[in-house]
Amino acid sequence: MNTNRMIEFAKNERTTTYFRDYAIQEIRLAYRIMEYLAPDTTFPPKINEETKTLIFYGRYDDAVERIIDEELICTDLGSSSGNDALKHNAIELMKYLLPIYKQNLSNTKEKRRLELLEELQKLEATDETK
């Protein structure tokens, strides 16, 4: 059964401009992350390779900051706890989607690129421990 998302939203959300703006930013950010890690095959998104590399390296904080500041140009919510929660949720989404993305990769070239990035990440980690 298909649930009505507007009804679910109305049941759970508060009615102030702050929460409206927060919900809008949350959806915009989630969709942008999905463009990187769950892209539409019919209408492939335009992505930033540097941001994608940050995600693959596990540098989620940097990737989220880049998406917010440079790609979406999200406005400040006026609440540091709201901004922190938005970033935290975005990082959780990246951590959730990345293994699914890796598992679903069918493009051989992209798979190889990801393998090389992971190998490079391991090498850099061993260099840091020395």
Determine the angle formed by the axes of helices 49-56 and 80-104, rounding to 10 degrees.
80
- Rounded-to-integer distance, Cα 125 and Cα 130, Å: 9
Instruction: Give residue for tokens 């999905």.
Output: 34
Determine the angle formed by the axes of helices 17-37 and 80-104, rounding to 10 degrees.
20
Within the chain, which residues score under 50 in pLDDT? Answer: none
Domain boundaries, the chain: 5-102
- Rounded-to-integer distance, Cα 20 and Cα 58, Å: 30
Query: What's the confidence (pLDDT) of residue 127?
Result: 74
Find how far residue 39's CA is from the centre of its chain: 12
Query: What's the confidence (pLDDT) of residue 1?
Result: 67
Query: What's the confidence (pLDDT) of residue 37?
Result: 94
Residues whose CB falls within 8 Å of the CB of residue 44, separated by 6 or more in sequence, listed in order? none
Query: What's the confidence (pLDDT) of residue 44?
Result: 87
**How many residues would you count in the chain?**
130
Query: What's the confidence (pLDDT) of residue 93?
Result: 97
Query: What's the confidence (pLDDT) of residue 90?
Result: 96
Query: What's the confidence (pLDDT) of residue 75?
Result: 66
Whole-model pTM? 0.76
* H/E run at residue 94: helix 80-104
